[in-house]
Amino acid sequence: MSVHLLPDALVANLPKSVIIFGCGYIGTALAEVLLAAGVRVGALTRNVQKATRLRELGVHEVIVADLDSDAWHGQFTGAYESVVNCVSSAGGGIDGYRKSYLEGQRSILKWAKGRGIQSYLYTSSTSVYPQDGGVRVDETADTADAPLTGQVLCESERLLADAADTFGAWYVLRLAGIYGPRRHYLLDLLRAGESVIPGVGDYFLNLIHRDDVVTAICTALTCHPSSKSGIYNVSDDQPASKAELVAWLAKQLGQVPPLFDPEHVSPRLQRRGGRMPSRQISSSKFRETFRWSPQYEDFRAGYRDLLGIKKA
C-alpha cells in the first residue's frame, strides 16, 4: 500500500533537497512522497534490505552505516537544504536508545555544521511525558520524571535546541503511537483469533497514522522562519481507550471482543500495573501553527482504510 500523495500547494513549497537519517518505517514513506514531489532525496540506514528498497524507489544517495559513527560523514556527495532525523532504536535496551537517539543526533549535528542546512526536523515521541490519570498533555507538560528511555529522547531534543543557531529553523515532532500499513499489532492479534489480550484496556491510546506523520513532516519542512522553531506534539487529537479500539476492531471483523489479562504482560508493564500511562495528548499547537490537520481524524478512519472499508 503506497503512501498518499501531497496536496499541490504543499508540494510547491517543499525544499529542493532533503536528507533522511534513520530511514525506516517513517523515513521510507517520507522518501516515497518527497520523490513523487520531485525532491532530491538522500538517505542513511543501517539496514541493507531497507537500503535496497530505497534505491528501488529512486533515492539519489543511499548510505548504509551506523548513525552514531562518524565514518559516513564523508560519503554523501550532494548538498541538502533540509535534514530529517527519524531514527528508531537500535535495540539493546537503554544503551540502544543512547546509541540511536543521542549519539546519532550528536553525529548528524556534527556533520551538518557549516553545510547551510535551512531546516532540521527530529521525530521524538510523546513517551517523554510521564503524566497519568487521563490528564490532557501539551508541550508545556513537565518531562522531569520521564522514564529512562524518555530521558534519552529529551536529551537528544536538547542537543538540537542547543544547535539552533546552525539552522534556519528546527523542529522536534513528538509523535504519538504510530500505526498504518504493516504496523497494526492489535489488528493482527484479532485476525489471529486471539481471545485474550495481555494487559488491561482502561487507559488512553494516543495515535497517529503513518501517512499523517509524513504530511506533518512535509508541512513543517515548507516553513523556514525561525519563529516557528520548537517542540510540537503530533497526534490525531482523538485519544481512545485500548478497550474501545479493540472492541471496534472486533466488530469490524465480526468477532466477539477479546478479554484483557493483566497477569500476562511484560515485567516492565507489570511494574505499571499492567498498563501504560493514561494521558490525552494535545497537538493543538502544531495544528494552529502550521494549519495542519490529519487525513485520518481518528483511529476509526485509519483502520477503515487499512481494512478496506468504505465510510458509510
pLDDT tens digit string along 257-285?
999 998 887 666 665 666 789 999 999 99
In angstroms, the CA 52 to CA 48 distance is: 6
Q: Strand 61-64 to strand 40-45: parallel, antiparallel, or no bridges (unpaired)?
A: parallel
Domain ranges for the chain: 8-180+209-235+280-296
pLDDT tens digit string along 93-148?
899 999 999 999 999 999 999 999 999 999 999 999 999 999 999 999 999 999 99
**pLDDT reading at 206 higher than 70:** yes
Residues 6+ apart with CB under 8 A from 41: 17, 18, 19, 20, 31, 34, 35, 59, 60
In angstroms, the CA 120 to CA 311 distance is: 37
pLDDT tens digit string along 217-238?
999 999 877 889 999 999 999 9
In angstroms, the CA 287 to CA 154 distance is: 22
CATH architecture classification, 8-180+209-235+280-296: 3-Layer(aba) Sandwich (3.40)
- The model's pTM is 0.95
Task: Indicate the residue type of 191.
Answer: R
Q: DSSP assignment, residue 73?
A: T
pLDDT tens digit string along 18-74?
999 999 999 999 999 999 999 999 999 999 999 999 999 999 999 999 999 999 999
In angstroms, the CA 236 to CA 15 distance is: 25
In angstroms, the CA 136 to CA 138 distance is: 7
**pLDDT reading at 4 higher than 70:** no
Q: Can you tell me whether residue 286 is helix, strand or coil?
A: helix
pLDDT tens digit string along 144-165?
999 999 999 999 999 999 999 9
Residue 177: in which H helix or E strand, if any? strand 177-179
Residue 275: in which H helix or E strand, if any? none
Nearest CA to 176 out of 218, 142, 216 is that of 216
pLDDT at residue 91, rounded to an integer: 74
Grid cell listed for 196: 485474550
Is residue 101 classed exposed, middle or buried when 0-12, 13-18 and 19+ CB atoms within 10 A define those classes?
buried
In angstroms, the CA 48 to CA 63 distance is: 9
